Chains A and B, each alone.
Chain A
Amino acid sequence: MPIPHLGSLTWHERWAGFGEGGYTLIPKLMALNSVSRNYLAKELRYSQQVSFLHPKGLRSTPLGQRLREACLSEQLNFFFPLLASDDRLRFCRECLRGGYHAALNQLDVFERCPIHEQPLVDRCTCCGRSAPRFALSNPGNFPSWACNHCQSPIAGGAALENNLEAWRVPDKVSTIESFHRWTVAASSTVWFAAPQWITCKPGNESDRRAAFAKVLLHITPWEAQSCFRELDIEISSLLVTTYRVAAATESNYHRFAAAILPSSTFRTEFWDGWATADGGVRLPVDLGVSCELHAAYIWRCQFENVRSIGFQGCLGVPAENAFDAVIKRWLALLYTRYSVVLNDQVRYAIAQAVWRAAYRIAQAWRDHLARADEVGKRPIINHDWLARLGRWHGRTGLPLGLAIHRLGAERYKLYLFVC
């Protein structure tokens, strides 16, 4: 077998481990080929800082393609800015001492390395200064295993640059495969319409991302959830204050996702009638109910409303069978993506269902609180309702999508997407 190549550089995939991010691929390529930072920067020919979460602007060479494959945006589709950060490299010392860094470590939902279960850190082991960005910046700050400040190995241990024999892929690297499967499952949601939630949540950006990941995890039907539970992740308790309705039509699908759904940016002819100029339905702020319960509520109410929306018109079935017809179509949609629900009538009907759901949920909560006030009790979770909801969930297997948009210092907007 001749020398394996990646463009004009020596490379073989055996040097990288499963799920390895672009950050450690760069020093490996530099050391293997003994090329300088400037040389590699020229090969990549990027004009501005390129995040390893979403490397845009790299040349479409084999090297550029390889770095794109290593990025989180490939797996998480457009969820990556909501889940992960490139502000600092978050690493497991054990992994990085062997030259390996899992891209998944950048997800704020992980506080420990999924492979070694050691805490993820973002500071140099030696001097304690901040780790570099998870990005390809100017050649002076190129990704390296050494700290930019003290020049010692950032994770401790021996220097790796000239020591090819010390590069090791962690033995249990397959542990993260299930997480990767989850990311793929979570990101394959098809969006048509969404009730928005306006919430209040104190905390910083990483809390917000962790909260989003946890909610997404909660509503994604995937067996990998059990792996997350082992990591002792708790679902966040964001408080929902208002329900609104948003739409994600196919035409503005990418814009919708890229802009994280600020409601003012996606007005279409179809949607104009449904944009929530009235500010949505406000809920009492002291419900004390976690966001996953809201997610479950909305999900169920959509289905309840679908029955009464009048789908028979667009599906060509009698009203009494409309609900089953919709379920069948949505199930088919899971496998065929856009091929089934393509016409605007169906989308319109779904959006209508979502919109009605938002009002109905608000009303349900009001009634619930009113009754609770009457009897002098605090609001409690309706477990019977949740059980029925679980049955529906099992029957359809439809995932939901959810996004959070930051409105201000402590104001966030949550978006729930219907698939």
Chain B
Amino acid sequence: MVLNVIQSDDKGGCSETGHASQWSHEMRNNALLAGPERQLLLASHPLHDDIIEIKTPPIKCALLAIQEAIKFRRPGLSFVADCRHGKTTMMAMVSKAMAEMFPKVPYHIVTAAKHDKVTEKAVWSDVLLGFDIQAAGTAFDRKRAVRGSIITACKAVDGDAFVLYIDEAQNWGELEFNFLRDLTNELRQYSRRTLITVTVGDLKLKTVADSLRLLDKGLWSRFVRTVLTFSGISSMEDLRKVMSEYDSIQGCEYPKGSGVCYSEFFAPHAFGSGWRLANEAAFLWSALAGVATVHKRQLVDVGMQWIADSILAFLTLQLESDGAGFKPVQNDWIVAVESSQFETTFM
């Protein structure tokens, strides 16, 4: 069968002339025509990665909130979300976007760890570990090293603010936030630099926030007063938006520069004849709702993990059925949702 999809395009991405166009054309051929190149590309497709960077509506909301916090130098902002909702992905995506938006505001992501015994030394070691810097010396030394690193990062870009993204923040309590407050004060007082913290954690972070409100209002108001919920996909409309991202080369192009979006990569013939993944949103939502119904629950909020896994399973299972008249049925999505193990969320 001749792949007329190679020349087709309603995405408007391949209109350049000359070398760039030729190179892009070759990339398309490699990605879409059966052969060893396609097999290699398939094996390393970003959809198989742990972090799949797709701009979902909740991520866009988080981005706006963090943007505002940085712009107005708010000291702390928190996000809570249920497990597998894509908190870490959100942080990775947002931090990169913020770095582009505010080039004079350096950042780093650290992961808060739970320790049997909370000590200042352990906390600063974790932070230095996140900074990818050797931790050595006493607790005081380590804190100074953190301070030096933050000042260095600010100096490198001529900035006066630093954003510290803290993942798994539910592992921290009063003591850890106290240490962080001291550092923030020192930076502001002696170095005239602002430390903005963005804490992200699971639902337990809300409990931590509540206890801090009772124990130390200063800490609470500084770090976890504003707790925003990072929701999953909560409606079919949101799901359609997410799935339409797969159909767009704006954020979901693979290989880069080829003009091939994720859904076209997996079903090139179907895509060429007008099929779009976004149109499958109703089927997927229905399949997810079906699982919820079996467990006598309502479908309220679905984590991105399950959505991404279901879509990947669907696209992989349908590789063989790709063709001009490709018409998936509801059962295909039920199988895909099953393989994503979405059911485990109700157990």
Contact = CB atoms under 8 A, between A and B. Distances in A.
Contacts of A32: 145, 148-149, 152
B177 interface: no
Interface residues of B, number: 28
Nearest to B132: A5
Interface string A140-175: 000000000000000000000010110000000000
B173 to A, nearest CB: 25
Interface string B149-177: 11111011100000000000000000000
A387 interface: no
A62 to B, nearest CB: 13
B144 A12 contact: no
A36 to B, nearest CB: 6
A14 interface: yes
A323 B148 CA distance: 63
Interface in A2-29: 2-5, 8-12, 14-15
Contacts of A127: none
Interface stretch (B99-107, B199-207, B245-253): B99-107
B191 A35 contact: no
A270 interface: no
A1 interface: yes
Contact of A3 (B103, B131, B134, B140): B131
Nearest to A29: B148
Interface residues of A, number: 22
Given A2-B106, A3-B106, A34-B145, A11 B152 contact: yes
A12 B155 contact: yes
Contacts, number: 82
Interface in B109-144: 131-134, 136-137, 140-144
Interface in A29-44: 31-36, 39
A65 B110 CA distance: 29
B159 to A, nearest CB: 9
A15 B152 CA distance: 8
A39 B150 CA distance: 21
B133 A10 contact: yes
B141 A10 contact: no
B134 A8 contact: yes
B137 A10 contact: no
Contacts of A3: 106, 108, 131-133, 149-150, 152-153
Contacts of B143: 34
A301 B340 CA distance: 89
B137 A36 contact: yes
Interface string B290-308: 0000000000000000000
A398 to B, nearest CB: 44
A362 B132 CA distance: 67
A41 to B, nearest CB: 12
Interface of B: 99, 103, 106-108, 131-134, 136-137, 140-145, 148-153, 155-157, 190-191
Given A5-B133, A15-B152, A35-B134, 4 more contacts: A2-B106, A8-B133, A15-B155, A36-B141
